[in-house]
Copies of this chain bind each other. A is one copy, B any other.
Amino acid sequence: MTSSSSGSLDASVAARLKRSSDGLVPAVVQQHDTGEVLMLGWMDDEALARTLATGRATYWSRSRQEYWIKGETSGHRQWVREVRLDCDGDTLLVKVDQEGPACHTGRRTCFDADRLTVPGHADD
């Protein structure tokens, strides 16, 4: 989609990746220094390859069915510091430096607004 973002996924990484039936893997996105969980995105092989090659977090939008470079329109870019694959090869952890809010609502994270009740911890 952009001239700087092509490249295929390293074969050894591709071999370790376990994708869901739609070819995607969930990517948990965490602010590298504070530990805040910012959002969850989805990557296919190409999105992961672009993320690793460019250092800019790139996802597959399931609703729009297209690649999406975080911050490309909003300016709220994610600079990738580290990518980890979990023990089963079916989840990514992407540690980033987030510019501004990660959430399209303007909140810092996508998990800031809706807290469910857990008995015994309502007042934490």
Contacts and interface: CB of A to CB of B under 8 A. Distances in A.
B40 A30 contact: no
A56 to B, nearest CB: 11
Per assembly, the copies of the chain total 2
A97 to B, nearest CB: 10
A116 B40 contact: no
Given A26-B26, A28-B28, A37-B28, A52 B84 contact: no
Interface residues of A, number: 43
A102 B26 CA distance: 19
A43 B8 CA distance: 32
Interface of A: 13, 16, 26, 28, 30, 34-37, 39-40, 52-53, 55, 80-89, 91, 93, 103-105, 107, 110-121, 124
